Structure 1
Amino acid sequence: MNAAHDEEPGLTLLVHRPGEQPTLLHTGLASLEHRLPIGPDTTFNVGSVAKQITAHLILLAAHDDLLRLDQKTADLLPRLKISDVTVADLVTHRSGIRDAESLLSLAGFRDLDHYTADDLRTLAYRQDQRAVPEGRFLYSNTNYLLLAEILETVHHTTLSNLARHRVFGPLGMHSTHFKADPRQVIPGAASAYQATHHGWQHTEVPVTLPGPGTLWTTAGDLDRWLTHLHQRWQNPHQLLWQETVDYEPSDHEPYLYGPGLYADARPDHTAVFHYGHEQGFSAATHLEASGLRVIALSNNARLSADRVTAAILRDLYQQPTLAQKEALVRAAARERASSTGIQDQPTPDHVGQHIELGTFACDQAPGSLRLTRRADALHLWRRGTCDQLTPTGSGIYAGNGYTLTVPSSTDQVDRFTLDLDRAPGLTYIRQ
């Protein structure tokens, strides 16, 4: 590896072929301030990789007759207004419940604003109908926030305690924790960073959402977890737990989604996997029916764990005799070489140059939005932040992660529809 890269945040990579010992590679620093290198005991925030742990605990609760997968969620969480959603719908992202964190972003929360899981669940309980038709996939972290609340309800303890006693302790995952409070100290925790034109900056914010994310762990502990999953994979001709939870088409064709896991059902590479991106960290876990395990963890916003995992797998498929260490070194070097972009936020145009179209509110989302027009472009304002929207069709404008549709001319707008990637179908009306 380039010596200069040892002065930057970096990666932990692991590959574990069946019948071989796992191979680890660590590059870069866990803490730039303290010049602390990443090592085997460094813990990372693995984001949505946590969902497979939460789903596993739900399956255990069903096995212990504490709940049923076909049970109506409202039986367990009476505040939920969408009465026909089942526990299995939450597990497989088929509830149609909008992602509450996406909804909260419409209020214009700044990077260091603090909100809690309870804040997001409150937004979930405001929703009174599915955002997409029954049975359709809509990836939503809110599903797993509600699953975490179900687990705490039926077990009468916190998710953190439950996971420690039922999973992490028995499997020897002693460096793994669900972080339940932003002030909680995680031993060995890496800091995450983003490169800007002015140098490196921290990316963590004071938010913890155990269930859909906020899981801190090491590559070694994740290898113990994937080993446990492979031992439970009774039939290599089926997907993991397919006899309990149906895998269905997801948002990433041709992959399916089941109990907190995406799945590749191709016979030659049958696998389950998940990626995570949270607060500048990224993570990936990949387990094949053969027993092959690949793990990537990053604390550098420019280094993507899912891309480096794909590169490792590609080399292992193309060169079956390639040494595990060589596969890791090659993939890490390629990811370093391709990640040169600087991520500064653009400065919006001055509001005085814009024509006001109104302030709008939606009963399914917090806060209000302002819409302005400047020349032929629309601008959406949230608590001082501004997105310039790009026209893509008649009355349709695209933003970052959403589309906005106006019913007629932009000379006067009385209402519009906002479709966020994870929270579609929001109707905003002029106040």
Structure 2
Amino acid sequence: MKAARDEEPGLSLLVHRSGEEPTLLHTGLASLEHGLPIGPDTAFNVGSVAKQITAHLILLAARDNLLRLDQRAADLLPRLKISDVTVADLVTHRSGIRDAESLLSLAGFRDLDHYTADDLRTLAYRQDQRAVPEGHFLYSNTNYLLLAEILETVHRTTLRDLARHRIFGPLGMHSTHFKADPRQVIPAAASAYQATHHGWQHTEVPVTLPGPGTLWTTVGDLDRWLTHLHQHWRHPHQLPWQEAVDYEPSDHEPYLYGPGLYADARPDRTAVFHYGHEQGFSAAAHVEASGLRMIVLSNNAGLSADRVTAAILRDLHQQPTLAPKEALVRAAALERTPGAAVRPQPTLDDWSQHTELGTFICDQAPGSLRLTRSADALHLWRRGTRDQLTPLRPGVYASNGYILTLASSTDQADRFTLDLDRAPGLTYIRQ
């Protein structure tokens, strides 16, 4: 008889100590509909883990004199208006270019709306100044969308074919693919799911963004990649490819960020890694100076790969004699994070209870936003969806990953500033 968790989406895990054979563990189902278990050949969407592949291709292009890391990105992307951004700025998230998916969310896009990489690049090209001061870190998927466009420009081929020819083929990563079209079939692909009050539901949406994400791979193929990465780790006191791109402070203290990689540079725990969260999938790829490789892939939205990775690493570091298999079994038994409840949509009656304060537009973002007041609460509307704003202090409100700051009282609101985590400094003006 199967345990309850054997009937749920789950995990593919790998620990590989230097000089030893890798240890693998697979739990749960790749497909709930067909009852297919997760196994060593199951492919997952690894989200932002793809950034290290894209960054490596940029470094190879620089080595081959197809571009320079200190070159202005606008030389290669004529539509880019922020003229002082370099290729290296894009690689290290120091361009100040806002995250286009965050901008698109302001238009009220729903989960199953279709948009393309070029739709997002168009939003990037509307931006005419940095959202943060020069040299400051702002994590933005747009940087890697633009890097993918640069690679396709200088190589005159697609990122998918380039990666297969330069990295995946030579390293034997035959189960690894950049998905360039939502209709593309990925062999042995898992589906991703989220728990709801009524059972499980699919979480994938019809969007593919090669460069910052949309990389499908297996734990075995990622182990080949991390082995290759570690072979370029020439000195334990110098991070991989640090001679080409500096690692500088990131958005997560005490970590640094370099060529598509976060780094923990503390002497007793030197490692490089990246996490990915994409459409209900999550992934973690971690390699230490000692050669220890750790890979966790999840198709359960309530089971985060970075949390599982942290538990495994804690056990292995605190108990050096612990068998890797035991560490994996312990981590796989972690409690799931409860599935996020579906936010109720406002009804037609909601609107009748609100006082209109105005419709606002921003030249850096699509669509328009509306402000209303109901009783003592302020609300922001995006194409029929509504966020109730929580007051933090006079004139400053918060909701769902952003801060709204009014330039005047709510009775005379003529403009406000919206600061999203990855798209700060958006000024909205009353139409």
TM-score (norm 2): 0.98
Instruction: Provide Cα deviations, 1:117-151, integer angstroms capped at 9, x if missing partner.
Output: 00000111111110110000000000000000000
Asked whether 1:419 is paired with 2:429, we answer: no
Aligned CA distance change for structure 1 residues 40 and 422 (closer, same or farther; 3 Å):
same
d(CA) in 1 for partners of 2:333 and 2:115? 38
d(CA) in 2 for partners of 1:290 and 1:104? 42
Residues 7-406 of structure 1: pairs in structure 2 closer than 5 A: 7-334=7-334, 337-348=335-346, 350-406=350-406
**CA contact 1:194–1:201 (8 Å) conserved in 2:** yes
Aligned CA distance change for structure 1 residues 310 and 283 (closer, same or farther; 3 Å):
same
- Provide structure 2 residue ranges, at least 5 long, that are not aligned to the other structure: none
Percent identity between the two aligned chains: 86
**CA contact 1:197–1:344 (8 Å) conserved in 2:** no
Q: What is the one-letter code of the residue matched to 2:77?
A: L
**CA contact 1:283–1:296 (8 Å) conserved in 2:** yes
1:14 alignment partner, SS class: strand
**CA contact 1:197–1:342 (8 Å) conserved in 2:** no
Instruction: Provide Cα deviations, 1:225-266, integer angstroms capped at 9, x if missing partner.
Output: 000000011111111111111000000001000000000000
d(CA) in 1 for partners of 2:57 and 2:367? 35
Aligned CA distance change for structure 1 residues 143 and 52 (closer, same or farther; 3 Å):
same
**CA contact 1:194–1:343 (8 Å) conserved in 2:** no
1:146 alignment partner, SS class: helix
- Per-residue deviation at 1:346? 3.4
2:412 alignment partner, SS class: coil
Q: What is the one-letter code of the residue matched to 2:259?
A: P
d(CA) in 1 for partners of 2:255 and 2:388? 33
Instruction: Provide Cα deviations, 1:38-62, integer angstroms capped at 9, x if missing partner.
Output: 0011000000000000000000000
1:55 alignment partner, SS class: helix
d(CA) in 2 for partners of 1:82 and 1:172? 39
Instruction: Provide Cα deviations, 1:154-202, integer angstroms capped at 9, x if missing partner.
Output: 0000000000000000000000000000000000110000111111110
d(CA) in 2 for partners of 1:36 and 1:96? 44
**CA contact 2:391–2:398 (8 Å) conserved in 1:** yes
d(CA) in 2 for partners of 1:286 and 1:348? 42
- Per-residue deviation at 1:342? 4.9
- Per-residue deviation at 1:285? 0.6
Aligned CA distance change for structure 1 residues 402 and 374 (closer, same or farther; 3 Å):
same
Aligned CA distance change for structure 1 residues 342 and 395 (closer, same or farther; 3 Å):
closer
Instruction: Provide Cα deviations, 1:298-342, integer angstroms capped at 9, x if missing partner.
Output: 0000000000000000000110010010000001102xx242445
d(CA) in 2 for partners of 1:6 and 1:187? 22
> Number of matched residues?
429
d(CA) in 2 for partners of 1:230 and 1:411? 59
Q: What is the one-letter code of the residue matched to 1:360?
A: F
**CA contact 1:372–1:378 (8 Å) conserved in 2:** yes
**CA contact 2:311–2:331 (8 Å) conserved in 1:** yes
d(CA) in 2 for partners of 1:377 and 1:362? 23
- Per-residue deviation at 1:217? 0.3
d(CA) in 2 for partners of 1:139 and 1:346? 30
- Per-residue deviation at 1:344? 2.5
2:234 alignment partner, SS class: coil
Identify the range of structure 1 (372-381 vs 347-356) with the bigger mean alpha-carbon deviation.
347-356
d(CA) in 2 for partners of 1:14 and 1:343? 31
**CA contact 2:408–2:414 (8 Å) conserved in 1:** no
Q: Which stretches of structure 1, 4 residues or longer, exceed 6 Å deviation after superposition?
A: none
d(CA) in 2 for partners of 1:235 and 1:99? 34
Q: What is the one-letter code of the residue matched to 1:391?
A: P
**CA contact 1:272–1:288 (8 Å) conserved in 2:** yes
- Per-residue deviation at 1:102? 0.5
TM-score (norm 1): 0.98
CA-atom RMSD in angstroms: 1.1
- Provide structure 1 residue ranges, at least 5 long, that are not aligned to the other structure: none
Instruction: Provide Cα deviations, 1:254-308, integer angstroms capped at 9, x if missing partner.
Output: 1000000000000011000000001000000110011001110000000000000
Q: What is the one-letter code of the residue matched to 1:86?
A: T
**CA contact 1:348–1:387 (8 Å) conserved in 2:** no
d(CA) in 2 for partners of 1:150 and 1:73? 8
d(CA) in 1 for partners of 2:80 and 2:340? 42
